[in-house]
Amino acid sequence: MTIPIAKKARSVTALDIAEQMLKNLKTNAEHEGLNNIRYVNAAWEDAIAGRQVEMHDVVVASRCITPLDIKDTFSKLAGIARYSVYVTVPVVHLPFDWEIYRVIGRGRAQHPSYIYILNELYQMGIQANLEILYSRVMVFFPTVEEAFADLQWRKTTFSGTEKEKLLEYLYKKFAEQNGTLTHEGKSKWALIWWNVKDNELFKS
């Protein structure tokens, strides 16, 4: 979403812990003729703590929030926002990942309920808005090995046994597909946002 935002905003700071993601973004931005993006290769928590990011008009944290301490997490985000904060948290996230966890015998990654997050924000004096977003997810891989590498990139390293189970499953799953391998599923996300000035009125 950085590219569409950069086309409308004077400047954008893009944070990502994965260097390759930022390289891909920079390539796409250059293709679009955009030179108003600052790239920060760090986790957002470390970037804020290390003062690599200053106050911004709008803070967007998309698909990167899995807070253990909700108050601390959202206080940090609110602390660098002049006008508004937008956050997405998973309700049903990447069904392919859940499918893989089941195959290798791991439990699903657990995320705080968005209702719990809204309640915590209210206790903090933040009256947030909520919208549920639905999307159809399609992922494409040239080979089974690429599918495995993509899954491994987002997970704790697979054990030898897990790797064997997963590769066997992937070969069976994609056995009848020729050419590009495709997985299709659905995802469901909660968009939570608030305006700083509205909440100043709420607190008063």
Residue 32 has pLDDT above 80, yes or no: yes
For the chain, give the mean pLDDT.
86
Name the maximum alpha-carbon separation found in the chain.
62
Distance of CA 21 to the CA centre of its chain: 12
| CB atoms near residue 15 (< 10 Å) | 23
Find the length of the chain: 204
What does the alpha-carbon distance between residue 75 and residue 68 come to, in Å, rounded to a whole number?
13
Closest alpha carbon to 66 in 22, 21, 19, 117: 117
Helix (H, G, I), strand (E, B) or coil at 27: helix
Closest alpha carbon to 190 in 102, 92, 74, 50: 92
Question: What average pLDDT does range 159-175 have in this prediction?
Answer: 91
Question: What average pLDDT does range 169-179 have in this prediction?
Answer: 89
What pLDDT is recorded for position 110?
55
pTM for the whole structure: 0.74
Report residue 132: phi and psi, to 5°: -90, 130
The answer for residues whose C-beta is within 8 angstroms of residue 84's C-beta and 6 or more apart is: 57, 58, 59, 193, 194, 195, 196
The lowest-confidence range among 82-86, 111-115, 145-149 is: 111-115
Residue 107 has pLDDT above 80, yes or no: no
Distances (CA, A) of 118 to 4, 54, 113, 151: 28, 26, 9, 31
